[in-house]
Structure 1
């Protein structure tokens, strides 16, 4: 049996360029939101079956799983799971390109159309050369990553069993980096996240008589300001954390102080200890600032929160070495971490 060289794989991948671009652009024109990826899942399942994969559909509602057993000799057959997400975002596409979204208010703004096309390309290469490897390739095309629900839905439906994966690979394109750059970091590489809702309850009054109120708008403003001290004064400067308030809702008229203001925010950290510290401090600050200003406030965290994506150092090193052989060591980064979050962490 002739061993398959990396240069041959590259040549075959390059020959697939036009067909994979066509797949990606078709998916880009037909974006589907979380748990609505019916057309996309149908395309994935059809292509995997044509390549000889055993296909399961409806995993996690609209997820697809494809299994292929290699026929090559191996001393230690492993199951390698490769995960690609498929869903789009509820965003209106503003860029006028020939393959722009055909669905108003929906767009592949996060690159999951590219992920799906890449996954199908890798699946084709592995099927074409299944005599060159042993073990099982388990392709997982996941729905609903954007709402942090698809991974848990697929896990609930048994995606991590029959067979259980020995290794898991996932990836994400990133538009701010130059083409050809590969970032693979040991340990935490994407942040854990927690979403919180803060309800500030006071007593409404006319804007001309603020002394009759317990003003939740003023209290909410002080709470937002105080929350920014968590990272500045509570988190170790050598660690990293983010506290962002992204939503404020309260009031309906310019001259009326409302009874309630609602805030929503997100916490991000790479380390669980930092995340727990920030969660505790959010609750303490909200309660104490509210009490000092004569209002009541309650903090609710959405559960489950998303853990950090943590790379296995040995597998990360293998990926870096392979990437260096493909694109050159100067284009491979071992320190790339961002505060975005990914539900493949589950």
Structure 2
């Protein structure tokens, strides 16, 4: 293991370049699996560093920095933005537009901070490429598309990622979160939840609003289902076990005096444990089917929209990383975090190999914002992390993690 204290801080010139990376990425976000310009921007930087690279999973970029014999270590940064209209006053705010899969034109913003992830990893790669005498081994840089839709990591794996790239012995990742810039949170074991998203179509019998007796009303049916679903967590799952069931959309009908033939809603489920996940999903199916039968309606259609894996941090690797980060950032800046009900597809990458991984969080806001009670959260139109010390912290944490595993 390399002694982190042997290595200097990120020099001022490189910190300015990292800020430029961040500003460029923030001003030019792209939607999930459409990150074409972002991928080209990353590739151009890798070219300047002499790092070999290849496309994977469509708009994913994999860089491979070989430096003699030694361990193979991976690090992942996600690259996609979100369909959000930015509400900020920074001079690098996004005015970008994009097109969803259904053809809808939308504003695009890096509303989850993936721009900080990419800028930090590009900077860490530059430090290691310029300082090859201090380490040995192979670094696999995973610039992953499509995290927001759970499509990107799986696309890279299915595109032969681990046949094309050296197989790491461990993979690291990190994510900016609401919190004090300059601090990181480390969680051992389950760090982020499973997420399952479904679309449910309910079928009824259309009729005039004045003749409800001739209808099977899918809106009433849907209302019963939505209400009943909220009893799963409160009445079927033990109070010490985590689960969330959210109905996020409900659409039905075209006119107030027509009982429609169909209704549609989408739901999202978060769980931390395998058996809880299975129980919740089974209960949802049971309720949907039973309420349809109670209404005399046909069996509803259930479609899976996407599924996120659980993020599971290896306990031994996490403990070692926490110690390394304390040395790099100061013990007072390394916090013991708690599992989050948010989700990530990061776990797909190490899961495909069966290797350990560690995924941690870093804060992105100054003390005044943290203490104001109005700190923006991820996916907010105001989620714009302060550049410093956010970027320095992320790049330093990445370097500390990588140096701790690469040979000296």
TM-score (norm 2): 0.79
Q: Deviations over 1:200-235 (max 9, x none)?
A: 111122222222221111110010010011111111
User: How far apart are the structure 2 equivalents of 1:78 and 1:5?
Assistant: 16
Q: Find the counterpart in structure 2 of residue 68 from structure 1.
A: 65
- Equivalent residues in 2 for 1:84-95 (5 A)? 84-95=77-88
- The answer for unaligned runs of 5 or more in structure 1 is none
- More divergent stretch after superposition (164-173 vs 336-345): 336-345
TM-score (norm 1): 0.92
- Equivalent residues in 2 for 1:97-112 (5 A)? 97-104=90-97, 105-112=107-114
User: How far apart are the structure 2 equivalents of 1:248 and 1:304?
Assistant: 18
- CA 9–153 in structure 1, closer or farther in 2 if over 3 Å, else same: same
- The answer for unaligned runs of 5 or more in structure 2 is 98-106, 349-408
Q: Find the counterpart in structure 1 of residue 368 from structure 2.
A: none
Q: CA deviation at 1:298?
A: 2.1
Instruction: Determine whether 1:261 maps to 2:272.
Output: no
- CA 8–223 in structure 1, closer or farther in 2 if over 3 Å, else same: same
Give SS of 2:221's match. Answer: helix
- More divergent stretch after superposition (37-46 vs 294-303): 294-303
User: How far apart are the structure 2 equivalents of 1:10 and 1:214?
Assistant: 71
- More divergent stretch after superposition (319-328 vs 29-38): 319-328
Q: Which has the higher contact order (CA 8 A, sep 6+)?
A: 2
- Equivalent residues in 2 for 1:102-141 (5 A)? 102-104=95-97, 105-141=107-143
User: How far apart are the structure 2 equivalents of 1:150 and 1:238?
Assistant: 33
Q: CA deviation at 1:5?
A: 5.7
Q: Deviations over 1:62-89 (max 9, x none)?
A: 1111111234xxxx82210111111111
- CA contact 2:26–2:93 (8 Å) conserved in 1: yes
**Deviating 4+ runs (over 3 angstroms):** 3-10
- More divergent stretch after superposition (11-20 vs 110-119): 11-20
User: How far apart are the structure 2 equivalents of 1:299 and 1:186?
Assistant: 39
Q: CA deviation at 1:95?
A: 1.6
Q: 1:171 aligns with which of 154, 170, 174?
A: 174
Q: CA deviation at 1:322?
A: 1.7
- CA contact 1:63–1:154 (8 Å) conserved in 2: yes
- More divergent stretch after superposition (221-230 vs 18-27): 18-27
Q: 1:208 aligns with which of 207, 210, 215?
A: 210
User: How far apart are the structure 2 equivalents of 1:327 and 1:165?
Assistant: 25
Give SS of 1:296's match. Answer: coil
Give SS of 1:222's match. Answer: helix
- CA contact 1:308–1:341 (8 Å) conserved in 2: yes
Task: Report the RMSD for the aligned CA atoms in angstroms.
Answer: 1.9
- Equivalent residues in 2 for 1:14-163 (5 A)? 16-56=14-54, 58-71=55-68, 77-104=70-97, 105-161=107-163, 162-163=165-166
